[in-house]
Amino acid sequence: MTEPVLIEHRDNVAIVTLNAPEKRNALGLALYRGLSQTLTTLQDDPSIRALVLYGGKHFCAGGDLSALDASPLAMREAMHIGHRAVRALVGGRLPAVAAVSGSAFGAGFSLAMACDFVIGDSTTTLCAAFGKVGLTPDYGLMWTLPQRIGIGRARELLMLCKQVGAEEALSMNLLDRLIAPGATLDAAVSLAKELAAAPPGTIATTKAMLSRSPLSLDTMLAWEADTQSLLARTRDLAEGIRAFAERRPPSFRGE
């Protein structure tokens, strides 16, 4: 059988590729399982410092509609499997960059919005298409989308199922960068390498705090006090201070 998810390593960046091109990477159970397992395993791999989520010509057409005739219990289990992937992308230690060409519809849109950065090209089209088949937005989209574009604009996309092209997506902050067709993967890897060079503790704690937003000011300040006091004891901080004094790029090791 064809592997539902492919993994490629470029130095300390993992490229995670959805591998069902015949269905435009529509998310069936095998793809949900493969993606969740892959993303969870990568979080525990100390050699990996950042990841790229990629779909090839078409990022992801959404959920596989043929699976919608499953029993409620089977659907619930599939949702829980997919949720593990969302939690890994949003709150895991690894910074995640989505390389989005072609369509990112429904759950594919959700996966892109769960990443820290989204890179697209002129072929990119985004749509929260759930309402077109009578479903509610899922895989964290009702949390991640307002975080990116505000609740007012999120209502428009979630309730009206509006398709958004590349230029509009960039202006709405759905995309962080818009580059030439065919270059999304290389651009995403380049950005991921920048993130991989950052102190791992800083990235991990920042993602953890942001994944808990919105928080009260007092809760955030207490979290800051806890994390900063821990990071202050790391070798990475000492290396950062030395590199600054020596006017050279730091070499962070996650220690």
CATH code for the part of the protein at 200-246: 1.10.12
pLDDT of res. 1: 61
pLDDT of res. 232: 74
Q: How far is CA 47 from CA 9, 44, 190, in A?
A: 10, 9, 17
What is the distance between the terminal CA atoms of the chain, rounded to a whole angstrom? 40
**Token couple for 27:** 């998310």
- Worst-scoring range by mean pLDDT, 18-27, 49-58, 96-105, 240-249? 240-249
pLDDT of res. 66: 72
Q: State yes or no: pLDDT of 228 exceeds 80.
A: no
| Cβ(2)–Cβ(34) below 8 Å | no
Strands (E), the chain: 5-10, 13-18, 50-54, 96-100, 103-105, 117-121, 125-127, 164-165, 177-179
The dihedral region occupied by 142, where left means phi > 0, alpha psi between -120 and 50, and beta the remainder, is alpha
Q: What is the pLDDT of residues 138-186, one digit of tens each?
A: 899 999 999 999 999 999 999 999 999 999 999 999 999 999 999 999 9
Strands 125-127 and 164-165: antiparallel
Q: State yes or no: pLDDT of 198 exceeds 80.
A: yes
CATH code for the part of the protein at 5-196: 3.90.226.10
Distance CA(109)–CA(103), nearest Å, equals 8
| Cβ(12)–Cβ(51) below 8 Å | no
Closest CA to 62 of 2, 118, 117, 113: 113
Q: What is the pLDDT of residues 42-54, one digit of tens each?
A: 999 999 999 999 9
Parse the chain into domains and list their residue ranges.
5-196, 200-246
